[in-house]
């Protein structure tokens, strides 16, 4: 294993930690068998550190994990989770970024359509720290992704992008971005494709406190309905208590453009293939937010496999 990569694996509900990094400390809580808590501390290094989470449980097992993650001043971390969650799951992540710390999180997950899956992330950022957050999901019987961002210091920044591709599954996505200091920035993008009798929701809140001048924040959510039974509910919210800000939001959902689909099928492409091309084009805007070439490739592969 590379010296900058650590792994946390759960197989048959057994925890396996492999850590060859001198900059990452991973410790189980004293009562891990009861509270399922891990404490992770990341220190600065010459290279960006990476933690890989690998969940491999049976469909009759429930995955429970709570991680307290601290990224120290000037440290950089990538967090990667490409797990297929076969059973129920409850995953909670409590993150603190110190001054000039950087976190990039990539969750590209597949869920069992008959299970209940919850993911909660509470992230607090200090001066000039940054968090880039990418979540891909295919939904499940009950699927909740809830993210709370606390921009607590000057020049802290958040970039969040989510994609839900659902085929007769459900996905409930909640993002709350709290600007608690001046000169902080945030961008939030959410796109979803709903097939069959899927129900997808996005509830996004931007909060700017009264002393937080020079805030810049943008939120965009878009949905594509494939089929008459699917439902998409997009609810953007702004709570602004300072006039010296640049904040915007927008939401739109609808069915594919009939003229575009007709044009594609008139060129000898089947209706199914035409819809797939349309969906890929709809989601392609998302890739512009990913700077990491390796992660962009993984994102494109995820969309191709789950489209």
pLDDT at residue 2 in the model: 67
Total Cβ atoms within 10 A of residue 275: 21
Q: How many domains are contained in the chain? A: 1
pLDDT of residue 232: 96
Domain membership of residue 275 (yes or no) is: no
Predicted pLDDT of residue 279: 87
Which residue numbers in the chain have pLDDT < 50? Answer: none
| In a domain? residue 299 | no
Does residue 109 lie within any of the structural domains? yes
Distance CA 233, CA 275 (A): 21
Does residue 218 belong to any structural domain of this protein?
yes
297 falls within a domain: no
Q: What is residue 256's predicted lDDT score, i.e. its pLDDT?
A: 85
Res 164: pLDDT: 93
> Is 288 within the bounds of a domain?
no
Examine residue 303 and state whether it is found in any structural domain, yes or no: no
Residue 201: which domain range?
Answer: 5-256
Let me know if residue 287 belongs to a domain.
no
pLDDT for 285 equals 75
This prediction has a pTM of 0.94
Half-sphere exposure of 284 (CA within 13 A, CB side): 7
Tokens of residue 164, six digits: 């839900």
């Amino acid at each position: 294993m590379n010296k900058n990569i650590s792994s946390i694996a759960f197989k048959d509900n057994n925890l396996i930690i492999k850590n060859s990094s001198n900059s990452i400390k991973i410790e189980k809580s004293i009562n891990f068998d009861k509270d399922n808590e891990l404490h992770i501390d990341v220190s600065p290094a010459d290279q960006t550190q990476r933690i890989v989470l690998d969940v491999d449980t049976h469909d009759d097992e429930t995955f429970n994990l709570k991680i307290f993650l601290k990224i120290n001043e000037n440290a950089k971390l990538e967090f990667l989770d490409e797990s297929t969650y076969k059973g129920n799951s409850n995953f909670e992540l409590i993150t603190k970024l110190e001054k000039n710390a950087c976190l990039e999180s990539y969750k590209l997950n597949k869920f069992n359509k008959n299970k209940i899956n919850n993911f909660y992330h509470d992230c607090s950022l200090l001066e000039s720290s940054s968090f880039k957050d990418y979540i891909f999901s295919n939904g499940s019987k009950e699927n909740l992704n809830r993210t709370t961002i606390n921009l607590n210091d000057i020049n802290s920044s958040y970039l969040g992008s989510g994609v839900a591709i659902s085929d007769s599954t459900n996905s409930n996505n909640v993002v709350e971005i709290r600007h608690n200091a001046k000169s902080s920035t945030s961008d939030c993008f959410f796109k979803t494709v709903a097939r069959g009798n899927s129900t997808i929701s996005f509830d996004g809140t931007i909060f700017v406190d009264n002393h937080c001048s020079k805030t810049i924040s943008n939120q965009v959510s878009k949905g594509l309905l494939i089929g008459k039974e699917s439902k998409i509910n997009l609810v953007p919210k702004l709570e602004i208590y300072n006039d010296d800000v640049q904040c915007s939001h927008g939401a739109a959902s609808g069915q594919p453009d009939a003229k575009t689909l007709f044009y594609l099928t008139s060129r000898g492409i089947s209706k199914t293939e035409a819809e797939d091309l349309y969906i890929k084009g709809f989601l392609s805007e998302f890739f512009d937010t990913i700077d990491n070439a390796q992660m962009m490739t993984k994102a494109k592969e995820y969309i191709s496999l789950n489209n």
